[in-house]
Structure 1
Amino acid sequence: MASLSSSLAPILLCVTLWISLISPGRSLRCSSQQLSAKNESVPKFANCIDLPSLDAFLHYTYNASNSSLSVAFVATPPSPDGWIAWAINPTSTGMVGSQALIAFKSDDGKAINVKTYNISSYHDVKESKLSFDVWNMRAESLGKDNSIAIFAVVKVPEKAEKVNQVWQVGSKVSEGQPRAHQMAPANLNARAVLQLEGKRAPSPSSGATAPSPAGGSSASNETGDGGRRIMKNAGLYVALSVFVGSFIIF
């Protein structure tokens, strides 16, 4: 029995290390993310999610009283002079039709600009107005890892329960325009449905004001996607414990 337990020690160590990699602390990175590198006043959002592709994150608050969505999208371009983009597609789930916010460095490299693009085709990406209202747009660099945050408030259809979101990163900007991104699986899979029925901003009828990028709910999303990850990881941990324990007992 002692010999069996000794032989299983390396297995137990590997399992423990593996579990630590999928722990809630790792899967909930957005909840502890610092949104400003300049100690400025930044929005507080009701929800945050780790997007499933391109190591990107979305902080957001849905305000049903005026059908608006306050967002902070965070991603890291593949190169220091690259770009990041977040979009809503009102008509489909892909890139074409996306109403995009794209951020990249100014020509002098001293600021991060954010511009709007109506993506009408894969090859003709030009700055243009969006099909819905957007306000309070700004972008900033978050620090030494070259990550960028895009802040904005966008108008969504009244009583909407979900929207199609698309996000992307690219490595090159030429003549003030973002150039083509890579076609790796991570890039091609950078799309998802964003559910709006999470924690919402208080209604003005209760005495609260509508949120903007300078304000909003301060609650964190502890019961949404993050909570489901915690339960999933906990169940996996129990299953692994039972599996390994069965070898030790017998």
Structure 2
Amino acid sequence: MGSRFSHTLFLLVCLCITLISDAYATGCSSLKLTGGKKHYSNCTELPSLNSTLHFTYNATNSSLSIAFSAPPPKPDGWIAWAVNPLATGMAGSQALLAFKVNGSMVVKTYNISSYSSIVEGKLSLDVWDLEAESDKDGKMTIYGSLKVAATVGKLNQVWQVGPGMVDGHPKKHDFAKANLAAVGELQLVEKLSPAASSPSPAPAQSANSNSGYGLRVSEINAAFRILGLISLLVLV
């Protein structure tokens, strides 16, 4: 009897450890960057264009460091990631755009004042540490840091991919469903409910939610329930 109980207890502990390990395995570590040379606090699979965003928000100096990855539609194409301080679409966005020049990746900044004016220019936000790279499969990654307003808790983000460049200007991207859906909110600061309020249901994942976050929470809760059951069995 004691041997059978010990075996059952061992299996329950192994199950608990497996649940917790799998929960954390579905997080940022499973979303690999092109070169894997930098580390970020958060990551998400964006809902369109097979793209991902890794980012770290530093509230002490209101800076945001990002790594945006996506495959361009053609080998000589371009990728872009932007924030829009004024609206939710492309017009008014402050964009980082990467493409190849003589086989080497470069990053340019585009202050997109309107849909008909997409020219290289200085952004309204301070940016630094800009660089880009591509892997053997053609996927491109933009690295960079930017200054955001000290009071901002979220940003409007826009991302896009295009077929190539002409005379230093990006060719128009497709207007397929995936391209038109490449917008969303980037939550920089976690929303906290007032202490006096009653618990509310967990919010649905948005475009910036950490990949697998909801899954991790449910699995971890299940793991702790199993631990509680183990404790009761031991006490009995």
* CA shift for structure 1 position 227: 1.7
* Cα distance in 2 for residues equivalent to 1:147 and 1:30: 18
Identity of aligned residues (%): 51
Q: For the Cα contact (< 8 Å) 1:68–1:155, is it kept in 2?
A: yes
For 2:174, the equivalent position in structure 1 comes to: 182
Whichever residue aligns with residue 119 of structure 1, its letter is I
For 1:241, the equivalent position in structure 2 comes to: none
Residues matched between the structures, number: 180
Whichever residue aligns with residue 115 of structure 2, its letter is Y
Whichever residue aligns with residue 136 of structure 1, its letter is D
Whichever residue aligns with residue 110 of structure 2, its letter is Y
Structure 1 segments of 4 or more deviating over 4 A?
27-30, 229-233
Whether 1:90 aligns to 2:88 is: no
Residues 1:79 and 1:97: Cα distance change in structure 2 (over 3 Å): same
For 1:33, the equivalent position in structure 2 comes to: 31
The residue correspondences of 1:62-141 to structure 2 (distance < 5 A) are 62-106=57-101, 108-109=102-103, 111-141=104-134
Residues 1:62 and 1:86: Cα distance change in structure 2 (over 3 Å): same
TM-score (norm 2): 0.70
The residue correspondences of 1:1-250 to structure 2 (distance < 5 A) are 28=26, 31-37=29-35, 42-106=37-101, 108-109=102-103, 111-141=104-134, 143-198=135-190, 224-230=210-216
* CA shift for structure 1 position 160: 1.3
Residues 1:76 and 1:36: Cα distance change in structure 2 (over 3 Å): closer
Q: For the Cα contact (< 8 Å) 1:30–1:50, is it kept in 2?
A: no
* Cα distance in 1 for residues equivalent to 2:75 and 2:53: 21
For 2:16, the equivalent position in structure 1 comes to: none
* CA shift for structure 1 position 30: 5.5
Q: For the Cα contact (< 8 Å) 2:28–2:42, is it kept in 1?
A: no
Q: For the Cα contact (< 8 Å) 1:170–1:180, is it kept in 2?
A: yes
TM-score (norm 1): 0.67
* CA shift for structure 1 position 123: 2.0
* CA shift for structure 1 position 58: 0.3
* CA shift for structure 1 position 31: 3.2
* CA shift for structure 1 position 51: 0.3
